[in-house]
Amino acid sequence: MSTRIIGLGAGGHAKVIVELLRACGGFEIVGLLDARSDMCRQMLLDVPILGSDSLLPSLREQGIGTFFLGVGTVGDASPRRRLYELATNHGFAAATLLHPSSVVSRSANLGKGTVVMAGAIVNACASVGINGIINTGAIIEHDCAIGDHVHVATGAKLAGSVRLGNGVHVGVGATVRQGIRIGDGAIVGAGAVVVRDVPPGVTVIGVPAQPMKSRDDRGQG
């Protein structure tokens, strides 16, 4: 019997998850919820957009108990954290999803709601917290310890024993040297190479990665 599932958010990330669910099999995608009223009653890859989050209680009453998040992040993790908490507070369980073409070590540990996209690799003894995105082709090497609500974007690479706090974003194509620690809420810019620890809340860019100047310091304030 297939698992009935709903998605919160109907953006580009939702398209990728819908196709991942179809590749996995065993799911009936009931619909997507999105706060944007103009999207209501439209379709996304043949999945209906049902309406806003206000439908969560009635969907739960209809016996649907599983959800995924159809919104990604490009930095700030708080929208995904908020939606995750909203759905779980309504009694839904987050689906942990592995694309059939991903490689996840048996000794790795993935938290609830974490998704591992096509071609990504999570190697031996690595751990990822809840509601993570290990995006297309990303590599998480052995013994990495990753917090909750983290996005390791497409093609990013973490060498062995890297530690990421909660809500960290590692940008598309970035590389992080072995053993580095990156604090809660920090952002690693696209293509950066991180060779020093990054404090919480700091955005780093470049090769080697350096803290990004504020708008004022860049003369745009």
Ligand X SMILES: CC(C)(COP(=O)(O)OP(=O)(O)OC[C@H]1O[C@@H](n2cnc3c(N)ncnc32)[C@H](O)[C@@H]1OP(=O)(O)O)[C@@H](O)C(=O)NCCC(=O)NCCS
Which amino acids are annotated catalytic?
Answer: 142
**Residue placing its CB nearer to ligand X in the complex, 163 or 169:** 169
**Phi and psi torsions of 116, nearest 5°:** -115, 115
176 interacts with ligand X by CB under 6 A? no
Q: With b meaning 16 or more CB within 10 Å and e meaning fewer, what string describes 116-152?
A: bbbbbbbbebbbbbbbbbbbbbbbbbbbbbbbbbbbb
Using CB under 6 A, which of 190, 193, 199, 210 touches ligand X?
A: 190
**Residue placing its CB nearer to ligand X in the complex, 44 or 187:** 187
- For residue 208, say if its preceding peptide bond is cis, omega within 30 degrees of 0: yes
Please, what is the minimum distance in Å from the beta carbon of residue 188 to ligand X?
A: 8
Q: What angle do CA 161, 164, 167 make, to 5 degrees?
A: 160
> By Cβ distance, which residue is nearest to ligand X?
189
**Residue placing its CB nearer to ligand X in the complex, 50 or 186:** 186
CA separation for the pair 188, 168 (Å, rounded): 8
Using CB under 6 A, which of 167, 189, 194, 198 touches ligand X?
A: 189
Show contacts with ligand X in window 27-86 (CB under 6 A): 72, 74-75
Using CB under 6 A, which of 123, 154, 166, 175 touches ligand X?
A: 154
Please, what is the minimum distance in Å from the beta carbon of residue 97 to ligand X?
A: 16
Please, what is the minimum distance in Å from the beta carbon of residue 152 to ligand X?
A: 9
Q: Which residue, 147, 163, 76, 143, is CA-closest to 114?
A: 147
Show contacts with ligand X in window 81-140 (CB under 6 A): 135
153 interacts with ligand X by CB under 6 A? yes
Q: What angle do CA 105, 108, 109 make, to 5 degrees?
A: 140
Residues in binding contact with ligand X, number by CB under 6 A: 17
| DSSP state string for 140-177 | E-TT-EE-SS-EE-TT-EE-TT-EE-TT-EE-TT-EE-
CA separation for the pair 18, 33 (Å, rounded): 13
**Residue placing its CB nearer to ligand X in the complex, 47 or 192:** 192
Please, what is the minimum distance in Å from the beta carbon of residue 163 to ligand X?
A: 19
Strand partners, 5: 29, 66
221 interacts with ligand X by CB under 6 A? no
Binding site for ligand X (CB under 6 A): 72, 74-75, 135, 153-154, 171-172, 187, 189-192, 203, 205-206, 218
